[in-house]
Amino acid sequence: MSGVQAAGAPIEDRRQLVEWMAEGAKPRQDWRIGTEHEKFGFNLADLSPVPYGGPSGIRAMLEGLRRFGWAPVYEGENIIALEGHGASISLEPGGQFELSGAPLETIHQTCGEVGQHLEQVQAVAKELGLGFIGLGFAPTWKREQVPVMPKGRYDIMRAYMPKKGNLGLDMMLRTSTVQVNLDFSSEADMVDKLRVALALQPVATALFANSPFTEGKPNGFQSYRAHIWSDTDPDRTGLLPFAFDKGFGFERYVDWALDVPMYFVYRDGKYIDASGQSFRDFLDGRLPALPGEKPHLGDWSAHLTTLFPEARVKRYIEMRGADGGPWKRLCALPALWVGLVYCQESLDACLDLVRDWTAEEREGLRAAVPKLGLRAPFRGGTVLDLAERVLEIAEAGLHRRAADNGMGSDETMFIQVLLRSVESGKSPADELLEAYHGRWQGDISKLFAEYAY
């Protein structure tokens, strides 16, 4: 989750919010790729979650990483993030370690960044007796076992979440993801990309499904993380059906965002609880938490980070449907979406593919995929059939980009792991379940030994 921007002049009109988002448009030559991924830390001795404090805690991890040129970010006396190299390292509520990568030109570069980050994390973690693993959901821990990171916004969210859904606290404390942030060139380009992103997000969820365990046992899901999002907060999650309406653009997205209840306002180094209150009222100077005060663009930017649809618009588009996973899939996720939407021919092919899907079909896919994954039914076939076509489009798009690594390989190398999933018909969750019922003989501890970074 992103931090809060510095204050600016008060916003006087809704139009300023629309213009701020529209100003994110960039010419094609300036499009970049920003990859984010989260991972779970655990104690090597007993596989327990890692607390914030102590000689082997999350704070010690952050302090240890400073040797690689990262600068600390504090909230009060607590170090809560690191910045440097055009990127940042931050903490999710349950201590999930997140790299928010720099905006880079190619998947080769972003994959190199991911690899370097994991090497640095491994170096420090080894000294502290810790390990890190990429999964969509913490496979063994109970919710009450997970320590909460000392960030003010998380206290507000933890109090509000149970009012809106049954699994919001699990989302905060026990899930991890990998996502990619991509640019658009205009409002029309944003609309096309967002529609493709929303329609095809369940396909990405199925390909990256990697959370079949809860508290040490199979949970009956391919992506339990995706299931959790269906019962977190209906006000701020989902597939945004209005994005497919005629005339959709920045204004309609802003209107939706204005009506999503707020969590907080950040002032003088502290988070002020505004949970359930209206940004529209804030815009009119009638926010109960700050009567008479109007928001600045930093408040708007922060509010947008508290909206959680399957694809999210800020001044770029975030693809949010995938479970966290192993190193190769951290590179495959940005490659998939770049191949689909950064080549106009591929974007057009995706639009043709999803153009006649109904809202009911899109919602049906989102509902079926968490449990059934690639085996979810769709139009007389399955999501596996759909994934095969999607990967064909993505591979062609990556070929057309012709981004060579200097050794004769283009970016299609990064989706080979997904092509193998389609060939076998098996998701990462299927592979984990086979291991659990087979060579692990029901011993979930083997997961940490085999799948840690």
**Quick one: pLDDT band at residue 2, thresholds 50, 70, 90?**
very low
Q: Is 7 within a domain? A: no
What pLDDT score does 331 carry?
Answer: 97
Q: How does pLDDT run across 15-51, given as a tens digit for each residue?
A: 999 999 999 999 999 999 999 999 999 999 999 999 9
* pLDDT reported for residue 324: 98
Please report whether residue 9 resides in a domain: no
pTM of the model: 0.96
Q: Is residue 5 part of a domain?
A: no
- How many domains, in total, are found in the chain? 1
Q: pLDDT (tens digit, 9 = 90+) per residue, 210-269?
A: 999 999 999 999 999 999 999 999 999 999 999 999 999 999 999 999 999 999 999 998
Give the pLDDT band of residue 8 (cuts 50, 70, 90): confident
Tell me if 44 is assigned to some domain: yes
Query: What confidence tens digit (pLDDT) does each residue in 116-135 have?
Result: 999 999 999 999 999 999 99
In a domain, 4, yes or no: no
Task: Give the per-residue pLDDT at 197.
Answer: 98
Domain holding 431, by residue range, is: 14-451
Q: Does residue 125 fall inside a structural domain?
A: yes
Residues 91-102 have a mean pLDDT of 98
**Mean pLDDT, residues 285-292 taken together:** 96
Over residues 322-358, the pLDDT tens digits come to: 999 999 999 999 999 999 999 999 999 999 999 999 9
pLDDT at residue 9, as a whole number: 86
What are 376-406's pLDDT values in tens digits?
A: 999 999 999 999 999 999 999 999 999 999 8
Q: What is the pLDDT of residue 6?
A: 47
Residue 164 domain-assigned? yes
pLDDT at 7: 60
Residue 1 has pLDDT above 80, yes or no: no
Which CATH number is 23's domain given?
A: 3.30.590.20
Summarised one tens digit per residue, pLDDT across range 166-195 is 999 999 999 999 999 999 999 999 999 999
286 belongs to a structural domain: yes
Q: Is the pLDDT of residue 136 over 50?
A: yes
Query: What does the pLDDT look like over 406-429, one tens digit per residue?
Result: 899 999 999 999 999 999 999 999
Percent of the chain, pLDDT > 90? Answer: 97
What pLDDT score was predicted for residue 77? 95
Contact 393, 349 (CB under 8 A): yes
Question: Mean pLDDT score of the chain, rounded to an integer?
Answer: 96
Does residue 3 surpass a pLDDT of 70? no
